[in-house]
Amino acid sequence: MATNPIVPLVEYENAPEPVRAVYDDIMRTRGTDWINNFWKVLAHDPALLKRTWEDIKQVMAPGALDPLTKEMIYIAVSATNGCEYCTYSHTASARTKGMSNEQLMELMAVVGMANETNRLANGLRPPVDEQFTPR
Amino acid sequence: MATNPIVPLVEYENAPEPVRAVYDDIMRTRGTDWINNFWKVLAHDPALLKRTWEDIKQVMAPGALDPLTKEMIYIAVSATNGCEYCTYSHTASARTKGMSNEQLMELMAVVGMANETNRLANGLRPPVDEQFTPR
Amino acid sequence: MATNPIVPLVEYENAPEPVRAVYDDIMRTRGTDWINNFWKVLAHDPALLKRTWEDIKQVMAPGALDPLTKEMIYIAVSATNGCEYCTYSHTASARTKGMSNEQLMELMAVVGMANETNRLANGLRPPVDEQFTPR
Amino acid sequence: MATNPIVPLVEYENAPEPVRAVYDDIMRTRGTDWINNFWKVLAHDPALLKRTWEDIKQVMAPGALDPLTKEMIYIAVSATNGCEYCTYSHTASARTKGMSNEQLMELMAVVGMANETNRLANGLRPPVDEQFTPR
Amino acid sequence: MATNPIVPLVEYENAPEPVRAVYDDIMRTRGTDWINNFWKVLAHDPALLKRTWEDIKQVMAPGALDPLTKEMIYIAVSATNGCEYCTYSHTASARTKGMSNEQLMELMAVVGMANETNRLANGLRPPVDEQFTPR
Amino acid sequence: MATNPIVPLVEYENAPEPVRAVYDDIMRTRGTDWINNFWKVLAHDPALLKRTWEDIKQVMAPGALDPLTKEMIYIAVSATNGCEYCTYSHTASARTKGMSNEQLMELMAVVGMANETNRLANGLRPPVDEQFTPR
């Protein structure tokens, strides 16, 4: 039960042309020959698929932050939100970008602490210090 | 209204000895001469204050990840949870560790995307791909 | 493992009279001949079962908003919170009320965007514009 | 700015009869002579006001759990969700039911730990142990 | 304190050309002569500004769902996440699209119920019914 | 699929000495002869394992709140966050401390209500009453 996705997976063979174009770009950009299931459910709305992929490609590209740092931030958010799919997929992706076990465990330690102190602050409501207020 | 903390701030002058010892260690470790309000509310429970500070000191120290990366992960979690105090305090802290405007904005872009795709996955429930499953 | 509910399902045959009365009303109202598992766990507290069902019946009834719009709002919240059971059950319910694939995918697109911009606002903290402040 | 509620407060003087009836019951039940702002915004929908108040009255009444324990659970949820209004109102309410500073601080310590370990589990995904699976 | 945004607002007069182009498109599309603060903080990253605006414009356009329904879904997510800025801005936006007080209050009632039952399901873990599993 | 943890379980036989020392203390403190999977994933970072266990031991010990109340607060947070592992493990733990079915169901009722009214407050934004503001 409950292991089926909410909408069926759109496989390459059955995909309309605009979906295939995105699938091709995903595989070309990543240097892989398969498409992960996240894109196969988005494919029910080709505009959503295309927009989300292009946004991801732009956002995760090297910039002021390197791609591995970006993947770790992605994992931090996914663990905070409890998204199972995203935790598995972005951890796998960070591994391919060289994340070590030590880095993963330190990442988790920071995520845990931040979630803890966020609630201590939310529950006790200290006022923001003047020194922290941006000018 | 509503700007008072849930418990009064414990100022250094009025703090019992175990609280002062933590305050002193915070200032020594950070090279500052003031204590931010987060610690002043925790101080109502000296054991909680001491444990939280020592955990933070250990977790945020340089290791497999550098301190600036750790601060950015902290910001990612705090923005995801909507913690106002933590967003201001950890952004200020990341600034002192050299975070540029470009880094902050890219961090936010990743946080935004991750929160978006987390919900696309939560709403459409693609199964985790075999390729992403750790062995 | 972990597939058992926290409390056993209370089946109609074994249910005490006040639980049966609610089960009967659920089936009558929905025109079905079965009870979904959500109610079978709530049934351990007949007062909670009755209150939750009567609240749902009142809240989801046609009013200023039509029932399909209400189901889609329910899905939006459930996807945001990552509730697996609720995502499956309310999507199924929205389907029976006529939700098309196009509507589901647009709903998901809005949910994704809202979760993204919520965090951009939480992380960058723009002040609420005077023009948006209710009078 | 932004300090106005989304809908104006419905004051007793201007409230329609069904709203006054609920306001009267709130004051009678609590032994107070004022209505807090939460109810004054709900009053725009008298059915929602009445249902929410009656649910709260039933749920928060003494039962298998005492009223103070219930208030502390309410605070735990409110701090986890970051609800400012609810944190202030339920902390005030718990104070009138005898919550000591020590209890509040221990409550916060548990809330912090739970939020931390929830994310360690969400990020590292240990399988649920057979011993924890209900029979 | 704490009322300043994390980054200064980028006003039209001081904005670089690519930011002005987006601001112009926002005002043209909405038929207004001002820019709200959300865009003024995003403007620190012109690519993020442009991408977010174009995504929003595409996602919120009339389609299988009408614009008012989309705004209400946006409010549902924002209230669930506790995003103050987004709650004020999207409620204001929904008002201009004709949302009545009755619709707002029913929306809130559904959002409240969904958040309640999401946690009853998360806490008691009923298995997803076979009847709700998509084929 | 997806049932494997993100990092392999560290079993006692293969654990390095510092991990064994923590495992031994867990079993001694709890009077059990097995280690649950949560600790077996944390064990990849012995410092994180030790710190988290010692924090938990300190925080969950009897104090101003009794251990069962603390477990119920833990469940409240875990259900609010939707953490499956934590919901199963802390419910099991509360059972061993004497939690009755009636207590569990009342706990869930409070958790549900709090999550509901948190969103009503977040969506309608009543100002915090002067009477609730701590002095």
Mean pLDDT, residues B108-119 taken together: 98
Chain E residue with Cα closest to F121: E79
CA dist D9 and B107 (Å) reads 39
Is residue E134 a part of any domain in this protein?
no
Partner-chain contact E6 B88, CB within 8 Å: yes
Q: Quick one: F44 and F67 in the same domain?
A: no
User: pTM (2 decimals)?
Assistant: 0.98
**Mean pLDDT for all residues in chain E:** 97
DSSP letter string, D75-101: HHHHHHHT-HHHHHHHHHHHHHTT--H
Q: Quick one: B68 and B111 in the same domain?
A: yes
Q: Quick one: E51 and E79 in the same domain?
A: no
Number of residue pairs across E and F with CB atoms under 8 Å? 62
Q: pLDDT tier at D3 (50, 70, 90 boundaries)? A: confident
Is residue B33 a part of any domain in this protein?
yes
Q: What is the pLDDT of residue F91?
A: 98
Q: What is the pLDDT of residue C73?
A: 98
Interface predicted TM-score (ipTM): 0.97
How far E102 CA sits from the closest chain A CA (Å)? 32
- Of F64, C56, B26, the closest CA to residue D94 belongs to F64
On chain B, the residues whose CB falls within 8 A of the CB of D118 are: none
Within the 116-135 window of chain E, which residues sit less than 8 Å (CB to CB) from chain D? Answer: none
How far F34 CA sits from the closest chain A CA (Å)? 23
Q: What is the pLDDT of residue A26?
A: 98
Is residue C69 a part of any domain in this protein?
yes
pLDDT digits (tens, 9 = 90+) for F67-105: 999 999 999 999 999 999 999 999 999 999 999 999 999
- Judge contact between B1 and F130, C-beta under 8 A: yes
Three-state SS sequence of chain A: CCCCCCCCCCCHHHCCHHHHHHHHHHHHHHCCCCCCHHHHHHCCCHHHHHHHHHHHHHHCCCCCCCHHHHHHHHHHHHHHHCCHHHHHHHHHHHHHCCCCHHHHHHHHHHHHHHHHHHHHHHHHCCCCCHHHCCC
Q: What is the pLDDT of residue F1?
A: 42
Sign, CA torsion E117/E121/E124/E127 = positive
pLDDT digits (tens, 9 = 90+) for B36-94: 999 999 999 999 999 999 999 999 999 999 999 999 999 999 999 999 999 999 999 99
Q: Quick one: A33 and A53 in the same domain?
A: yes
F28, pLDDT greater than 90? yes
CA dist E16 and E20 (Å) reads 6
Share of residues in chain A with pLDDT > 70 (%): 99
pLDDT digits (tens, 9 = 90+) for D16-33: 999 999 999 999 999 999
Q: pLDDT tier at E47 (50, 70, 90 boundaries)? A: very high
Q: Quick one: A46 and A73 in the same domain?
A: no
CA atoms within 13 A on the CB side of E101: 11
B1, pLDDT greater than 80? no
Q: Domain ends where: A44, A59, A74? A: A59
Unique residue bearing structure tokens 């079905």: C32
Q: Is B63 on the interface with F (CB under 8 A)?
A: no
D87, pLDDT greater than 80? yes
Q: Quick one: A54 and A67 in the same domain?
A: no
Give me the residue from A84, A88, A101 closest to F7, CB to CB: A101
Q: Quick one: A46 and A77 in the same domain?
A: no
Is residue C39 a part of any domain in this protein?
yes
Q: What is the pLDDT of residue C3?
A: 76
Nearest 5°: the CA angle E1, B71, E79 is 60
Q: Quick one: F89 and F105 in the same domain?
A: yes
Distances (CA, A) of D7 to B10, B76, C121, D43, F124: 37, 32, 22, 10, 7
Residues whose CB is less than 8 angstroms from the CB of residue D98 and which lie 6 or more positions away in sequence, other chains included = D68
Burial of C41 (0-12, 13-18, 19+ CB in 10 A): buried
Mean pLDDT, residues E14-41 taken together: 98
Q: pLDDT tier at A1 (50, 70, 90 boundaries)? A: very low
Partner-chain contact F88 C52, CB within 8 Å: no
User: Pick the residue with more confidence: B1 or C9?
Assistant: C9
3-state secondary structure of D29: helix
Is residue D1 a part of any domain in this protein?
no
- Judge contact between C83 and E114, C-beta under 8 A: no
On chain D, the residues whose CB falls within 8 A of the CB of F55 are: 113
Q: pLDDT tier at F5 (50, 70, 90 boundaries)? A: very high
Q: What is the DSSP letter of D65?
A: S
Q: What is the pLDDT of residue E135?
A: 84
3-state secondary structure of F80: helix
Partner-chain contact D45 E109, CB within 8 Å: yes
On chain B, the residues whose CB falls within 8 A of the CB of A4 are: 125, 127
Sign, CA torsion E56/E61/E66/E67 = positive
Give me the residue from A2, A7, A45 closest to C109, CB to CB: A45
User: Pick the residue with more confidence: B3 or B108?
Assistant: B108
Q: Quick one: D47 and D79 in the same domain?
A: no
- Judge contact between F78 and F86, C-beta under 8 A: yes
On chain F, the residues whose CB falls within 8 A of the CB of C44 are: 101, 104-105
Partner-chain contact C88 A6, CB within 8 Å: yes
B100, pLDDT greater than 90? yes
> Residue D106 is inside which H or E element, if any?
helix D101-124
Q: Quick one: A71 and A54 in the same domain?
A: no
Phi/psi zone of residue C98: left (φ > 0), alpha (ψ -120 to 50 degrees), beta? left
How far C114 CA sits from the closest chain B CA (Å)? 8
On chain B, the residues whose CB falls within 8 A of the CB of D106 are: 45
- Judge contact between F117 and D73, C-beta under 8 A: no
Sign, CA torsion B117/B120/B123/B124 = negative
Give me the residue from C63, C65, C80 closest to E77, CB to CB: C80
Is residue A134 a part of any domain in this protein?
no
Q: What is the pLDDT of residue E1?
A: 42
On chain B, the residues whose CB falls within 8 A of the CB of A126 are: 5, 9, 36-38, 40-41, 85
CA dist D58 and D73 (Å) reads 15
Partner-chain contact B91 E6, CB within 8 Å: yes
Q: What is the pLDDT of residue E71?
A: 98
Q: What is the dihedral of CA E44, E48, E54, E59, to 10 degrees?
A: -120
Give me the residue from D111, D116, D125 closest to A113, CB to CB: D116
Mean pLDDT, residues E47-53 taken together: 98
Is residue D11 a part of any domain in this protein?
yes
Share of residues in chain B with pLDDT > 90 (%): 97
The CATH number for F47's domain is 1.20.1290.10
Q: What is the maximum alpha-carbon separation in chain B? A: 59
- Judge contact between A40 and A89, C-beta under 8 A: no
Q: Hey, what are C92's tokens?
A: 């199924």
Is residue D33 a part of any domain in this protein?
yes
Number of residue pairs across B and D with CB atoms under 8 Å? 24
CA dist F61 and F69 (Å) reads 11
Nearest 5°: the CA angle E15, E18, E19 is 40
Question: Residue F102: which domain range?
Answer: 63-125
> Residue E53 is inside which H or E element, if any?
helix E46-59
Q: Tell me how crowded residue F24 is: count the other CB atoms within 10 A of its CB.
A: 12
Q: Domain ends where: A16, A31, A59? A: A59
Q: What is the pLDDT of residue E58?
A: 97
pLDDT digits (tens, 9 = 90+) for D88-111: 999 999 999 999 999 999 999 999
Partner-chain contact B109 E2, CB within 8 Å: no
CA dist F107 and F105 (Å) reads 5
Q: What is the pLDDT of residue B135?
A: 84
Q: Quick one: C42 and C78 in the same domain?
A: no
Label residues B41-64 b or e (16+ Cβ within 10 Å = b).
bbbbbbebbbbbbebbeebbeebe
Q: What is the pLDDT of residue D1?
A: 42
Q: Quick one: A111 and A90 in the same domain?
A: yes
- Judge contact between E100 and E94, C-beta under 8 A: no
Phi/psi zone of residue A96: left (φ > 0), alpha (ψ -120 to 50 degrees), beta? alpha
Mean pLDDT, residues A66-78 taken together: 98
Give me the residue from C88, C106, C108 closest to A2, CB to CB: C88
Q: pLDDT tier at A3 (50, 70, 90 boundaries)? A: confident
Mean pLDDT, residues A106-122 taken together: 98
How far F80 CA sits from the closest chain D CA (Å)? 7
The tally of domains found in chain E comes to: 2
pLDDT digits (tens, 9 = 90+) for B8-35: 999 999 999 999 999 999 999 999 999 9
On chain C, the residues whose CB falls within 8 A of the CB of A40 are: none
